[in-house]
Every structure is written in structure tokens, then in C-alpha cells.
Structure 1
Amino acid sequence: MHAIRLHAFGPAENLTYEEVQDPAPGPGQVRIAVTAVGVHLLDTALRLGRTGPFPAPAELPTIPGREVAGTVDALGEGTDPSWLGKRVAAHLGMAPGGYAERAVVDAGRLHALADHLGEAEAVAMIGTGRTTLGILQFTELGPDSVAVVPAAAGGIGTLLVQYAKNAGATVVGLAGGPEKVALVKENGADLAVDYKLPDWPDQVRAFLGTRSATVVFDSVGGATGLAAVDLLGKGGLHVVFGWSGAGLHDGEPLTFTDEELTARGITSESVLGPVMIQKAGGDVRNLELASLAAATEGTLRPAVHRFPLKEAAAAHRALETRGTIGKVVLIP
């Protein structure tokens, strides 16, 4: 089979397309003939050898990637034979190996796919979708809500806009450049603005009039994140799940002292990691089931930016330079 391997930590060019031996499923496992592979911003940090929610690879070479979809083509000993031939999606967990034409995973991680749900869309929901629903556990949205979504053209941002609109909220989406802004508006945002323009906060305030934002879903931090927080009214909530605008790999999340939060009259909560898992009842599979169900029902529609598997390096570069729209997916 062909796979993407990383032989040394460093730039995207270190991802190489190679022919390697097919993996064999062990007891209780299946092998998936992969037709779609998710690419996460975290993958770019791990490629550099940096540790985050997942540890950097202990040994090289490695095959990156943890989100896959395709068809089960082989079973390990003791695995339920009904899985053979089924279309499935799975998050591989701590073990990488997704950037390949075949991947092995424990059968307990599998989700069977509805006939009308595409593999690329399923990959988007098994990772990005579950994170989105995990973020949304920390706030309740309704007709009185005003939600500001920085990075609204990204994989999570796209789903946050849709979810908030479905809940009846007023949604303000921020994106970089006219093309992304147009897509955010098309996705359902009541107002879509270009955060590259210096007057974008004034545009939002003019649109809201006497209203203030009630929640900011902050994945960017930095100056853009701070300007978004400035739109919050008393009682507003700042939900932190990233800091890409503060320096892609070297930035820090936007934080406030207790005194600053009191002066603003807002709360700020970081929602990634153990706190999200705990909120989901200790099992992120609950979030995976809910996100796939939402895509199957059509209430959430992930945006997908496809690259051929052999162009994984180009996909990483595009992510790092904010040149993507929606969830990045590799197609073997």
C-alpha cells in the first residue's frame, strides 16, 4: 500500500509518499481500506515534534493521522464477522497510522455509516464534529443568544455557525478574505465580516445596535480574539479552544485575570482536554455518535477541503497558512 511517512521532525516537505507493507489486524481489530483521512491542525504540530493533547511520536518513521473512513476489508481473530465489507469511520485514538491506503483499528472504535453519508463528511464529523459538540456542551444557545465565531470558515467554525443558527441564535462569523466571508454568509451567519479589515469590530457593533455578544467561540486568540471578546456584554461567555491567531505553533491562548474578568463582567472557560471528556460523561464516543447522527440527519453539514493523499505536504502547508476552507481531508 501507499502511505505518508515522517522520517524526521520538521517542515511539511518531510512528509513523504511511500510504498509500505500492508498492516495486519490483531485480535479484536479490523483493517480499513481507507477512502478518506482527516487532517487536523494538531498534525502540523506533531510533525514538528511538539507535544499537545497527543504526544509527539516516540519513534520515527511514523505514519501520521488519526481519523479515517472506508470499508472493512480484513478482520483480526475474534472480531465480529458482521463488520467485514461495511462502510465505517473511526478515530484511531492515541495510535497514528491514518495517512495511508489501509489502517488498523480496534473494532470497538468503529461507527457504521449510513448509505447517504460520504466518507469524507464522516471523517470530518468523527474528529472535528465531535470536538464541536464537545465545545457546545459548555453553553446553551437560543433566540436570545448572540454568538461570535472567529475562524467561521474552518472545520469547527462551519459547524458552530450551523448549530447556533439551528438554535435560533444571532450569529456573527469572522473569516479572512472575501471568498471565506461569502462562504460563511452562505453557511447561515446573520453577519459575516473580514477580520483582516481594521474596522471589522465597528461593522459588528453597527449590525448589533444596542445588543452585545453573549458568547465568543475563540479558536484564534491574539488580537482578533481580544477584539471579539470586547464585543461581549455583561454576563457574556468566552469559550477558548485554540489560539491559532496568536502564532500557529508558538502562541498562547487568550487568558484573563480574575480582576479583568470581573471588570468586564464576563466568564472565560478553556474547554479542551480532560474537562471536555468529563463533560461528555467520560467517553468521547458519545460525542462521535451525536456528531455522526447530526450529519446523517442533515442538521450539521461539514465543509470539506480535499487533497490527494500524496499531497499531504501541500495540505499541511495550506493549513499552516490559513489557505483552507472547512475540514481538510486526504483522499487515497
Structure 2
Amino acid sequence: MDAVRHHAFGPPETLALEQVPDPTPGHGQVLVAVSAHGVHLLDTAIRRGATVGPVPLPTLPAIPGREVGGTIVDLGAGVEHSWMGARVAAHLGPRPDGGGYARHAVVDVDALHDLPAHLATADGVAMIGTGRTAVMTLEVAAITAADTVIVTAAAGGMGSLLVQAALSAGARVLALAGGSDKVSLVEDLARRSYPAAQDWQGSCAVVDYSAPGWHVDALTALRGLGGSATAVLDGVGGDRGSSAARLLRPDGRLIVHGWSSGDRNEFDDDEVAHGARITARAVVGPRAEPPGDLRRYQEEALARAASGQWRIHTHQVPLAEAARAHRDLEERRTTGKVVLV
């Protein structure tokens, strides 16, 4: 079968499409013919040879990826025959060998999610990893209509879901995105999140935080939304994440769900940033222990997508061009969830 592997840790060019033997499902497992392969920043870190949280580095050569969607084509012993032919999505778990960037993947039956007919396979894959983290983040954030929320990387897979969820909760949202194309994408997302009779611009402002002086633009936008920020949902870290945190009001809360910049910011409970005392914070990310049952979060994310509550945007790249997908993701040239197809 076709599979993307790397024989050394390093840049995206280490990824290459190769022929490897088809895997065989064991007891309690199925074989999925994969048509959508989720790409995560964790994949890029492991490819570079960086150890992230509890996930050890794989033995090389290795097939990256842990999020898959496709059709079941073979069953292991002990699996009900009714699974044969089902269209499913699954997360392969924290195992070091990955295995997701391949035409076939062996999946434990307990990890399978049956996809509704109207939900695209790529969208289902987006919900298995990124969607579940969004649900976890929202559970920690507890956004209400009383909040004014800042979302960093608002055009990304996570950010676009968080913007929609905050608007649905009745909160006011300052969305931060890098570049005019990403700003336009988030504006369109906000516009479509509101009925025609309502003015989305009264509840959502989008600022290009790759532009010089963006912090001043953000302050102006916050005033237009009615005041200072009560919550920041940050997946970027680094200078932009720190700058966003400094927009919090004194009793604001910072929720970190990642650090795509590569720089993880540490905030002490007693830290004061430009007068804003960060009195409540939580971290949901690859180095943090996820709260609760992961399957519950996956099911809720899939339900939101299937009901239309969440509009899913995917950045699709052919499997053979996995190196390009990694490069684009690391250089922040993608929008939405990156999926190999």
C-alpha cells in the first residue's frame, strides 16, 4: 500500500511516499481503507524529532499521523460483521508509531465513530482530534453571553470552531488572524453564523495580527465591542499570545490550548501584565493531561458538526504531498484543519 514515511528526523522533505505491506487487523480490530488523514502540529514536532508530552519518539522508519477516516474493508476476530463497509473516523491514540498517513490503517473497534451520511469524511476527521480539543477548551473556558472573548489563530482548525462557539453562546468576539485572506475567511464565518436579520459586526471584530500596530487596532476593536476582554483562548503562544493576554481586564481568564509559534508562555497566577491580573487560567494542550473521557469529547464534536452547529473548513492536500502540508502548516500558510486526501 501507499504510505508516507520518514527515515530520519528533520525538515518536511524527510517525508516520502513509499510502498509498505498492508497491515492485518488483530482481535477486536478493523482495517480501514483511509481516504482522509488528519495532520496535526504534533505530527510536525515528532517529524522534527521533538518530544512532546507523553508521546515518545517513534522507531524509524515511521508513518506519521493519528487521525483517520475511511471505509472498513476487513475485520479482525471478535468484531461484529455489521461494521463491514461502514464509513468511520477514528483517533489512533498516543502510540509512538502513528500510522495515519497510509492507505490502510488498523483501528481498535472501540475507537471507531460511525459517520452520518451527510458528513464528509474529512470533516469527521477534523472533529476526531481538533474538534475534541475545541470541546475540551470550551468546557474549561465556560463562555457565556457576558463574555468578550479574544481568539488567536482564528482562521485555523481550532480557532474557527472557537469563534463559532463563542458567538453561539452570545459572547462578543475579537478574532485575531494573520493576513487579509484569513481575516476574510473569519469574517465570512462570523457572517454565516448569524441570521440575516442580525448584525454580526456588532458582536464580532476581526483584526490582522500580522500587521504593524495590530495591538492598537485590537484595543480599538475591543472598545467597539463594548469594553475589555474577559477571556483569551490562545493557541499560538509566543509574542502574539503574550500580547493577546495583555488585553485581558483585571479579572480576565486565559485559556491556552496550544502554542503553534513554538514558544510556550508560562503565566504565574500572580503575574500582572499591563495591569491585567490573570486570576484564572487553564491549559489544554499536547503537554497537558486531557480532562475527562476523550471519546465523550469526540462524540460531542461530531454531533456539533453533523447538526450544522459547527461549519467545518478543511485545507486539503494530496497524501503524496504530505511534505508540502507540513511545510505550509509550520509556516502558517493554511486555514482550517489540514487533511491529507
Partner amino acid, structure 2, of 1:220: V
Question: Aligned in 2, Cα 1:277/1:292: closer, same or farther, shift over 3 Å?
Answer: same
Uncovered stretches (5+) of structure 2, i.e. residues with no partner: 191-202
Aligned position for 1:201: 215
Aligned position for 1:266: 278
Aligned position for 1:61: 61
- Displacement of 1:274 in angstroms is 8.1
Runs of 4+ in 1 over 4 A off after TM superposition: 273-276
Aligned position for 2:314: 304
Give the length in aligned residue pairs.
323
Deviation by residue 1:124-172 (Cα, 9 ceiling, x = unmatched): 0001000111111112212211110110011000100011111111111
Q: Is the aligned partner of 1:107 residue 2:117?
A: no
Q: Is the aligned partner of 1:239 residue 2:255?
A: yes
Aligned position for 1:255: 266
Aligned position for 1:31: 31
CA distance in 2, matches of 1:257, 1:330: 39
Deviation by residue 1:286-312 (Cα, 9 ceiling, x = unmatched): 100000011000101221000000000
Partner amino acid, structure 1, of 2:318: P
Deviation by residue 1:198-254 (Cα, 9 ceiling, x = unmatched): 222222222222511011011112221121111111211011122223xx3xx2x22
Given that residues 212 and 233 in structure 1 are in contact (C-alpha distance below 8 angstroms), is that contact kept between their aligned partners in structure 2?
A: yes
Aligned position for 2:290: 277
Q: Is the aligned partner of 1:191 residue 2:193?
A: no
Bigger shift: 262-271 or 294-303? 262-271
Given that residues 87 and 114 in structure 2 are in contact (C-alpha distance below 8 angstroms), is that contact kept between their aligned partners in structure 1?
A: yes
Bigger shift: 197-206 or 76-85? 197-206
For 1:290-301, what aligned pairs fall within 5 Å after superposition? 290-301=300-311
Question: Aligned in 2, Cα 1:163/1:258: closer, same or farther, shift over 3 Å?
Answer: closer
Bigger shift: 26-35 or 44-53? 44-53
CA distance in 2, matches of 1:170, 1:109: 36
Partner amino acid, structure 1, of 2:188: E
CA distance in 2, matches of 1:4, 1:275: 28
Given that residues 133 and 284 in structure 2 are in contact (C-alpha distance below 8 angstroms), is that contact kept between their aligned partners in structure 1?
A: no
CA distance in 2, matches of 1:165, 1:56: 38
Secondary structure of residue in 2 paired with 1:173 = strand
Aligned partner (choices 123, 126, 129) of residue 127 of structure 1: 129
Question: Aligned in 2, Cα 1:44/1:196: closer, same or farther, shift over 3 Å?
Answer: same
Deviation by residue 1:159-199 (Cα, 9 ceiling, x = unmatched): 00011111111111111110001111111171111101222
Partner amino acid, structure 1, of 2:4: I
CA distance in 2, matches of 1:204, 1:314: 32
Partner amino acid, structure 1, of 2:282: E
Partner amino acid, structure 2, of 1:241: H
CA distance in 1, matches of 2:237, 2:322: 27
CA distance in 2, matches of 1:34, 1:113: 14
Given that residues 134 and 276 in structure 1 are in contact (C-alpha distance below 8 angstroms), is that contact kept between their aligned partners in structure 2?
A: no
Bigger shift: 26-35 or 94-103? 94-103
Aligned position for 1:215: 231
Aligned position for 1:176: 178
CA distance in 1, matches of 2:90, 2:255: 27
CA distance in 2, matches of 1:110, 1:152: 29
Bigger shift: 78-87 or 181-190? 181-190
Partner amino acid, structure 2, of 1:199: G
CA distance in 2, matches of 1:18, 1:275: 34
Uncovered stretches (5+) of structure 1, i.e. residues with no partner: none
Bigger shift: 83-92 or 50-59? 50-59
CA distance in 2, matches of 1:100, 1:242: 26
CA distance in 1, matches of 2:58, 2:288: 26
CA distance in 2, matches of 1:127, 1:105: 15
CA distance in 2, matches of 1:13, 1:207: 41
TM-score using structure 2 length: 0.91
Given that residues 50 and 56 in structure 1 are in contact (C-alpha distance below 8 angstroms), is that contact kept between their aligned partners in structure 2?
A: no
Secondary structure of residue in 1 paired with 2:271 = helix
Aligned position for 1:86: 86
CA distance in 1, matches of 2:136, 2:269: 25
> What percentage of residue pairs aligned between the two structures are identical?
49
Secondary structure of residue in 2 paired with 1:293 = helix
TM-score using structure 1 length: 0.93
Bigger shift: 28-37 or 140-149? 140-149
Deviation by residue 1:251-303 (Cα, 9 ceiling, x = unmatched): 2x22223432496332332223586533x2xx200100000011000101221
